[in-house]
């Protein structure tokens, strides 16, 4: 049912309908549309459009619909409704009859969609804010761990002066702090309600728009109806915030790609965020960082597209604005996913401290210290700079670092150089001198860590204007945190299996096969399939395993999830499954299935039950029933990767 058919003699063509309909994109705003409709029902009840009974019936139906959508949002996509507003109204009319047709009194889809989108942005903004703080905290943990690790600093990709790895981490903490500020500013400005602005000229009913705004959780109502229905600044600001933050993430990724290279060898990324080569067995590629770097362009494109869409639109609403949501949804999804992936990268990063120290000692990174030493001997800096340049040339000719030149050799360039020069040329001295605020000395890094931790606690505890209510935000943050904690667990304890693990995998599989928990697997089968196994470790000892069997493009099955008996119920099984799900995501698989006697366990990990008979014959044939279990108790479950 279209909401606008009375003016037309003929139906729109199917081709136009497909071109015009936005439901496949804006269905994500279903809950926000229903929440806005509940508030609107209350507003028109206050001005006499609805009586008490009608308000009760409409509100009850809308709440019932909201619960249904929250349980299964995909049901919306089965409809041929034009957009989410049409879908909600159709469902409401089915539940309440002609009463459902009264809800739209005094309201336009123009102010309705503007309100829905702002509500969605407020809720999503809270999740993004948490992801930024979580990313900051991951970088602070890494900074704390590596606060004493010496690292060569670069300008022009040339070694410049030594810094600490902790100082490098804290540079990104600063960038992400600015990202937090931009996001909070954007959330503040979008926290005004357009509902009640009508199509463009306002509503003809005496609605208390400020009260309506407060009922929806906005701090106030918009002041101009023309602007309210045609304003998409909040979309552009969020896209700009995402773009700048993605630029920071891309720089972070690029640094680590360089540090991870064979030429530098400063860091090694965890197996969880790396992949290999289909041709070269020795390769371990930093794919997570490369994807972060690549996805930055995708987010930039959404910002550019939205600016271009809006640049020449006359007031007020134009259908061009329907293009606001697809790019926004994709960009913010991408931003959040990249932040969460960057946390995994940081958590699993291994730093080669001897390699970073050796690199910092090369390239004459202490040349500035020698110039400063000469300045302390009353030589003007420009003259000292020239003298040290000549010293560096001589050292290069002799293939020696500055500190290995003899005093006699140094005095050839200045008689002001004395024996005490050597205490100024050490790495420790170079770092310790950077005591000014923001410097790389150990004491300054410790102060910065303490200040950053206090700032993050304040951000998470304060009431963010423009974000959703405290209870709502805490719920969203809890869900994100649970997901990140599970991913971290996988990053810390799970890795791809090696041939040296075959004996342990065979032992684990044989034990649990005898208990009737899983199907037996021969040693030859394990060896043949070893590249599809992952193992869980505790203190370097393998305590569990699992495998991923790929049937066809887009479909795979998790098999042989087993844990050492004494290590059960400690999260290792969940870590194995999370690792395989993340791997499936990287492989661009679509569905992961599991045949299990413990559906409640996999249900907690996001799997849903399906009819076992719906599986292909070859899958059923591959899964022979356990002689120790009733075949009727085996449940088929599926996890949708994307």
Q: DSSP H helical segments within 221-323, as ranges?
A: 225-230, 233-260, 287-310
pLDDT digits (tens, 9 = 90+) for 139-161: 999 999 998 898 988 989 888 78
pLDDT at site 473: 41
Q: Please answer whether residues 561 and 577 qualify as being in contact, where contact means their C-beta atoms are separated by less than 8 angstroms.
A: yes
Active-site residue (options: 261, 277, 376, 443): 277
> Which residue matches tokens 């159709």?
90
Residue 529 tokens read as: 């399939």
Task: Indicate if the pLDDT at residue 490 is higher than 60.
Answer: no
Question: In this predicted structure, which of 340-344, 354-358, 393-397, 468-472 has the lowest mean pLDDT?
Answer: 468-472
Place 222 in a pLDDT band, splitting at 50, 70 and 90.
very high
Q: Please answer whether residues 352 and 268 qualify as being in contact, where contact means their C-beta atoms are separated by less than 8 angstroms.
A: yes
DSSP secondary-structure letter at 602?
H
Place 318 in a pLDDT band, splitting at 50, 70 and 90.
confident
110-357 in CATH: which number?
A: 1.20.200.10
Q: Averaged over 186-212, what is the pLDDT?
A: 94
Q: Is the bond preceding residue 316 a cis peptide, omega within 30 degrees? A: yes
Non-local CB neighbours of 350 within 8 Å, separated by 6+ positions: 267, 268, 269, 270
Non-local CB neighbours of 573 within 8 Å, separated by 6+ positions: 536, 544, 546, 561, 563, 601
* Dist CA 218 CA 212 (whole Å): 9
For the chain, what are the domain ranges?
5-105, 110-357, 367-425, 493-640
Q: Please answer whether residues 589 and 642 qualify as being in contact, where contact means their C-beta atoms are separated by less than 8 angstroms.
A: no
Place 466 in a pLDDT band, splitting at 50, 70 and 90.
very low
Half-sphere exposure of 399 (CA within 13 A, CB side): 0
- Please give, one letter per residue, the 3-state secondary structure of 539-563: CCEEEEEEEEEEEECCEEEEEEEEE
Q: Please answer whether residues 162 and 427 qualify as being in contact, where contact means their C-beta atoms are separated by less than 8 angstroms.
A: yes
pLDDT digits (tens, 9 = 90+) for 73-93: 999 999 988 899 999 999 999
Which strand (E) or helix (H) includes residue 495? strand 494-496
Active-site residue (options: 45, 68, 79, 156): 156
Q: In the chain, what percentage of residues exceed pLDDT 90? A: 45
367-425 in CATH: which number?
A: 1.10.40.30
Q: Please answer whether residues 448 and 170 qualify as being in contact, where contact means their C-beta atoms are separated by less than 8 angstroms.
A: yes
Q: DSSP H helical segments within 72-108, as ranges?
A: 84-96
Q: DSSP H helical segments within 261-323, as ranges?
A: 287-310
5-105 in CATH: which number?
A: 1.10.275.10
> SS3 breakdown of the chain: % helix, strand, coil, rounded to 5?
60, 10, 25
Q: Averaged over 577-583, what is the pLDDT?
A: 86
* Dist CA 93 CA 61 (whole Å): 10
Non-local CB neighbours of 342 within 8 Å, separated by 6+ positions: 135, 138, 249, 252, 253, 292
* Dist CA 108 CA 195 (whole Å): 9
pLDDT at site 467: 44
| Fold classification of 493-640 (topology level) | Aminopeptidase (3.40.630)
pLDDT digits (tens, 9 = 90+) for 403-417: 778 888 888 888 888
More confident residue, 377 or 333: 333
Task: Indicate if the pLDDT at residue 470 is higher than 50.
Answer: no
Non-local CB neighbours of 249 within 8 Å, separated by 6+ positions: 292, 296, 338, 339, 342
Q: Averaged over 504-527, what is the pLDDT?
A: 88
pLDDT digits (tens, 9 = 90+) for 445-463: 667 666 665 555 555 555 4
pLDDT digits (tens, 9 = 90+) for 19-33: 878 888 889 999 999
**Residue 277 designated active-site:** yes
pLDDT digits (tens, 9 = 90+) for 88-131: 999 999 999 999 999 999 999 999 999 999 999 999 998 898 89
Strand order in the sheet with 541-552: 494-496, 533-538, 541-552, 555-563, 591-596, 635-640, 608-610
């Amino acid at each position: 049912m279209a909401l606008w058919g009375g003016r037309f003699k003929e139906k729109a063509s199917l081709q136009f309908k497909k071109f015009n309909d936005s439901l496949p994109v804006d269905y994500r705003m279903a809950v926000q549309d229903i929440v806005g409709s509940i508030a609107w029902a209350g507003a028109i009840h206050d001005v006499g459009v609805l009586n008490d009974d009608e308000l009760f019936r409409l509100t009850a139906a809308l709440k019932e619909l909201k619960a249904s959508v929250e349980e299964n949002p995909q049901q919306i996509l089965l409809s041929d409704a034009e957009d989410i507003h049409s879908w909600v109204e159709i469902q409401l009319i089915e539940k309440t009859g002609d009463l459902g047709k009264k809800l739209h009194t005094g309201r336009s889809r123009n102010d309705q969609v503007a309100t829905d989108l702002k509500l969605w942005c407020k809720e999503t903004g809270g999740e993004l804010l948490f992801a930024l703080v979580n990313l900051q905290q991951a970088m602070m943990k890494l900074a704390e761990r590596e606060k004493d690790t010496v690292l060569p600093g670069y300008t022009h990709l040339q070694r410049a002066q030594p810094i600490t790895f902790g100082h490098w981490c804290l540079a990104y903490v600063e960038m992400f702090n600015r990202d937090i500020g931009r996001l909070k500013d954007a959330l503040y400005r979008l926290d005004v309600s357009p509902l009640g602005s009508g199509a463009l000229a306002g509503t003809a009913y005496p609605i208390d728009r400020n009260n309506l705004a407060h009922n929806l959780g906005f701090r106030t109502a918009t002041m101009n109806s023309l602007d309210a229905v045609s304003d998409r600044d909040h979309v552009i600001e969020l896209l700009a915030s995402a773009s700048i933050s993605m630029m920071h993430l891309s720089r972070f990724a690029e640094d680590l790609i360089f540090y991870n290279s064979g030429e530098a060898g400063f860091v090694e990324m965890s197996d969880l965020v790396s992949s290999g080569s289909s041709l070269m067995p020795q390769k371990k590629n930093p794919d997570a960082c490369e994807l972060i770097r690549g996805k930055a362009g995708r987010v930039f494109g959404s910002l550019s597209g939205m600016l271009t869409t809006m640049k020449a639109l006359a007031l007020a609403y134009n259908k061009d604005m329907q293009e606001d949501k697809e790019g926004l949804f994709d960009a913010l999804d991408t931003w959040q996913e990249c932040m969460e992936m960057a946390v995994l990268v940081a958590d699993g990063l291994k730093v080669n401290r001897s390699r970073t120290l050796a690199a910092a000692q090369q390239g004459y990174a202490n040349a500035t210290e020698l110039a400063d030493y000469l300045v302390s001997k009353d030589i003007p800096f420009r003259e000292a700079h020239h003298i040290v340049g000549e010293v560096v040339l001589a050292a290069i000719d002799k293939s020696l670092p500055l500190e290995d030149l003899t005093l006699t050799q140094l005095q050839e360039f200045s008689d002001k150089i004395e024996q005490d020069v050597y205490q100024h040329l050490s790495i420790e001295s170079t770092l310790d001198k950077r005591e000014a605020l923001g410097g790389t000395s150990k004491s300054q890094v410790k102060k910065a860590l303490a200040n950053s931790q206090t700032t993050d606690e304040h951000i998470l505890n304060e009431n963010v204007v423009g974000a959703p209510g405290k209870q709502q935000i805490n719920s969203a943050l809890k869900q994100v945190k649970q997901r990140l904690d599970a991913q971290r667990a996988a990053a810390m304890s799970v890795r791809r299996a090696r041939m040296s693990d075959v004996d342990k995998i065979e032992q684990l599989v044989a034990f649990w096969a005898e208990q009737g928990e899983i199907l037996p697997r021969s040693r030859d089968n394990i060896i043949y399939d070893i590249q599809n196994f992952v193992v869980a470790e505790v203190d370097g000892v393998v305590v569990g395993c699992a495998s991923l069997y790929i049937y066809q493009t887009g479909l795979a099955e998790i098999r042989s999830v087993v844990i050492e008996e004494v290590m059960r119920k400690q999260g290792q099984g969940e870590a194995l499954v999370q690792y395989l799900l993340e791997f499936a995501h990287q492989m661009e698989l679509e569905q992961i299935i599991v045949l299990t006697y413990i559906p409640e366990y996999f249900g907690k990990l996001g799997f849903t039950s399906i009819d076992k008979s719906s599986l292909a014959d070859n899958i059923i044939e591959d899964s022979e029933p356990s002689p120790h279990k009733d075949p009727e108790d085996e449940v088929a479950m599926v996890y949708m990767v994307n």
